[in-house]
A and B are shown apart, each in its own frame.
Chain A
Amino acid sequence: MKTDRKGSFTFPGGVHPSDKKNLTADSKIQYGFTGKESAIMLCQHIGAVCQPLVSKSDEVEEGQKIGENEAFVSAPVHCPIKGKVKGIELRPHAVLGRSEAIIIEGDSEERARRPSEGEDVFGSAFDESQYTSEQICQAIREAGIVGMGGAGFPTAVKIGINAKQPKEVLIVNGCECEPYITCDYRIMLEWTYKILAGVRLAQKVSGCSKVLIAIEDNKPEAIEAMSEAISKLSMDGKIGIAAVKTKYPQGGERQLIKSVLKRNVPTGGIPPMIGVLVLNVATTAAIAEAVVEGTALTHRVVTVTGEGIKEPSNYYAAIGTSVEELIDFSGGLTEEAVEVILGGPMMGISIADLSTPITKTTGAITVLTREQIGEAKFSGRQTACIRCGRCLLACPENLNPTKIAHAVKNNMLDLAKKYYISGCMECGACSYVCPANIELTGYIKTGKILIAKEKKTNAE
């Protein structure tokens, strides 16, 4: 099948930050890297927090389930390395402040896991009809797979057939619209067949009749690799490729659906409500591993990048490795490094404590320098809103960011609701364009937290 390499699919709004992918785009995924210890967070997903299944001094095996919760919306956690439980301690967490983690000390001789990547297992030899839907769903749940693009919603919960909301279209998200990050790009090149196997399994359990892999047109090699593999498997016509326009936040699932299918997901709703399932490419690869090889989600590809890193690179790293170790492995911080971000520069969260462990949703560690942040942003000085309307034009959700932010600033939460604060997906496009350097997204996030608190106190 001939695929259009120039992305014609797009959505209204959005911004065009410089993508900075060249720092790591050609850096192959490096295997064989193990941290000294792993701190496995009990909360790495949306839903119920896991209860530890092991206690101090227990011997643990690679891939052993060490935390679980019976609740429907939850995902178990597993041990990435063979070793011993050092204890259950608080560790810094990017969002929650400090949170409980199971600390595993690895056996020194233990070698890092290396997954099967290529054609031999997942290529033409692979046949999804070997597995029943129940088997697939069970494997996904047992492996603790969550949305690896950042959301962290347990995949098993959303992937299965739901009689009330039948799914028709599966969109595989390979956009990677955040600047700097290349982990999804690398796996699209290196794990092409694994991704396709995962896609076929996901299609089977979800019952979708149509499958589209969406890739931004600044990654022509990935588009090429994917379509080549599809042809080789003679899956043309069954799995389509949609080259989408390079624009942030193209990889937001609501924006992606708008671009590819020209449909809107209701405000406050989720894609299954309109019969769409969106899975990140890394998630599909994890599904393939879980179903075919029975491996749990204990490792993931992480991009360590930014002008503040000496040797930016992509790693296949154990979940639970500390940010510090990964940075050291990449040659350490440069003199100019001033901000360490879990994730990309648009939506990532900056951390003060480098002992923070990475989780299932950490796709990148981006270290910025003062120059990249820019003088105005670095000084943090905000000036008055000149009502220029740039934030309104940039907002992919078609909101009025300045009005919402000002309502929150003046503590008028009801007014913020009137301007549909709940519709904000926190993409940061508004703050990015604001000439007055106002932290619009910051205010909006604060407003959402305040509203949630208000609801809680009202309920009590």
Chain B
Amino acid sequence: MAARIRVSPSPHISEGLSTRKVMFDVIIGLVPAMIGAVYFFRHYAIILILTCVISSVVTELLCNLIRKVERPFESLGDLSAIVTGIILAFSVPPSLPIWAAVIGSVFAIAIGKMVFGGLGCNIFNPAMVGRAFLTASFGMLMTTWVVPATVDADMPTISASNVSVDARTQATPLAQSKEVQKKDIDKEIVNKQMGAMLFGEVGGCLGETSAVALLIGGIYLLIRKTITFHIPLAVLVSTSVFGGICYLINSDAYVSPLVHLSSGGLLLGAFFIATDPVTAPLTRRGMWVFGIGVGALVMLIRVVGEYPEGAMYSILLMNAVTPLIDRFCRKVPAGGKPNV
């Protein structure tokens, strides 16, 4: 009898959560946007998502083999590579060639995660590292937008890009908003696209276009307590506040904050990328600082900078200062600081 009895430190029971379950929830949260992507971009979406997921998983396995870890398949079980693959696919243009998607995924996993020591040790969100690499290396491919398959052929396409891909292309609403700023086109055209943007019938990155789908997924994560509301709320509020200020100052030059909120990866970023636990602050106070920082940087980049999107860079920048935020936003014990 005694042979069966084991000893272990307390507590002896657990809630039964695992990293795998947490990641699986994130994947479920991404499903609505995935459905949206497949609906709007058809085969482009399926091919891209599969490519990114498969190459992410294979890259992680290869890295494990190179590092000679004991159980090379084990880390795949936490599903984080799949999450990275999906998010990367969501944040690139639908027309991105397969080879570019593979390169992006390899970079995301190998450089964004594995060189730091794997999940939990990385400083930057791996998918955003991959996307940044693609933007830096293949800028043209990364800014060519396919018109969703569901849009009428005679809908006006504004400042269509002259890159030769086999689909109709158009500028994203945010790219147009830069042109509004330069007085090239009327802002009304952009603001009128609001309705389309909510559902995703606009040009843009694969999984970033449908605000409604992203919101549904985000709410699912909140209900499941996979994420807390702090970061998404902070990002959304600070984006609207800064966007609102610009709009109030000069509503001719700037689009309405609603456009900012529902476009250009902001929702994807707010709910799925900025909330990546590994690269966001631990404390609640830290999360507020982080989220507000992301929102402020997004608006700064969109209004002042050259890039119309901005979510990616702001998240990466805030990732970089996360250790600093954690250091300054330490928790104070419930009973106050001990006087020793």
Q: Which residue of A lies closest to B226 (CB)?
A: A388
Whether, in the assembled complex, A348 has its beta carbon less than 8 Å from a beta carbon of chain B, the answer is: yes
**Option from A265, A352, A380 in Cβ contact (under 8 Å) with B335:** A265
Counting contact residues on chain B (CB < 8 A from A), the size range is 35 or more
**Residues of chain A within 8 A of B282, CB atoms compared:** 387, 389, 392, 400, 402-403
Known contacts being A340-B5, A376-B18, A423-B338, is A399 close to B333, with CB within 8 Å? yes
Whether, in the assembled complex, A28 has its beta carbon less than 8 Å from a beta carbon of chain B, the answer is: no
A386 touches B9 (CB 8 A): no
- B4, B11, B16, B284: most-surrounded residue (chain A CB, <10 A): B11
A386 touches B120 (CB 8 A): yes
**Residues of chain B within 8 A of A69, CB atoms compared:** none
0/1 string, A389-415, CB within 8 A of B gives 1? 110110011111011000000000000
**Residues of chain B within 8 A of A392, CB atoms compared:** 282-284, 331
**Option from B5, B9, B277, B338 in Cβ contact (under 8 Å) with A422:** B338
0/1 string, B1-39, CB within 8 A of A gives 1? 110111111111111111101100000000000000000
A181 vs chain B, min Cβ distance (A) = 13
A345 touches B119 (CB 8 A): no
Q: Which residue of B lies closest to A368 (CB)?
A: B12
A34 vs chain B, min Cβ distance (A) = 23
Whether, in the assembled complex, B336 has its beta carbon less than 8 Å from a beta carbon of chain A, the answer is: yes
Whether, in the assembled complex, A275 has its beta carbon less than 8 Å from a beta carbon of chain B, the answer is: no
0/1 string, B316-337, CB within 8 A of A gives 1? 0000000000000011111111
Contacts of A1-45 to chain B: CB distance below 8 A? 12-13, 15, 17
**Residues of chain B within 8 A of A354, CB atoms compared:** 2, 5
**Option from B15, B120, B284, B335 in Cβ contact (under 8 Å) with A268:** B335
Whether, in the assembled complex, B78 has its beta carbon less than 8 Å from a beta carbon of chain A, the answer is: yes
Known contacts being A350-B12, A386-B278, A432-B13, is A267 close to B337, with CB within 8 Å? yes
**Option from B2, B78, B284 in Cβ contact (under 8 Å) with A383:** B78
State the majority secondary structure of interface residues on B: loop
**Residues of chain A within 8 A of B228, CB atoms compared:** 389, 393
Known contacts being A350-B6, A435-B19, is A341 close to B338, with CB within 8 Å? no
Instruction: Identify the stretch in A183-191, A230-238, A437-445 within 8 Å (CB) of chain B at 4 or more residues.
Output: A437-445
B7 touches A351 (CB 8 A): yes
Contact count A vs B, C-beta below 8 Å = 180
B291 vs chain A, min Cβ distance (A) = 14
Contacts of A253-300 to chain B: CB distance below 8 A? 254, 258, 264-269
Q: Which residue of A lies closest to B77 (CB)?
A: A383
**Residues of chain B within 8 A of A329, CB atoms compared:** none
How long is the Cα–Cα vector from A422 to B339 in the complex, in angstroms? 11
A399 touches B5 (CB 8 A): no
Whether, in the assembled complex, A420 has its beta carbon less than 8 Å from a beta carbon of chain B, the answer is: yes
Whether, in the assembled complex, B65 has its beta carbon less than 8 Å from a beta carbon of chain A, the answer is: no
B290 vs chain A, min Cβ distance (A) = 12
* A residues at B contact (CB < 8 Å): 12-13, 15, 17, 179, 254, 258, 264-269, 333, 337-341, 345-354, 366, 368, 372-374, 376-377, 380, 383-390, 392-393, 396-400, 402-403, 419-420, 422-423, 426, 428-429, 431-437, 439, 441-442, 445
Contact sample, A vs B, 15 pairs, CB 8 Å cutoff? A15-B15, A268-B335, A338-B5, A352-B7, A353-B2, A354-B5, A377-B14, A383-B18, A383-B120, A389-B282, A389-B287, A423-B335, A428-B10, A436-B18, A436-B19
Kindly list 5 other residue pairs between chains A and B, CB separation below 8 angstroms, not including A267-B334, A387-B120, A400-B282. Answer: A266-B335, A267-B333, A346-B13, A366-B12, A386-B120
Closest 9 CB pairs of A and B: A384-B120, A428-B11, A442-B9, A267-B335, A423-B333, A435-B17, A388-B277, A268-B338, A267-B338
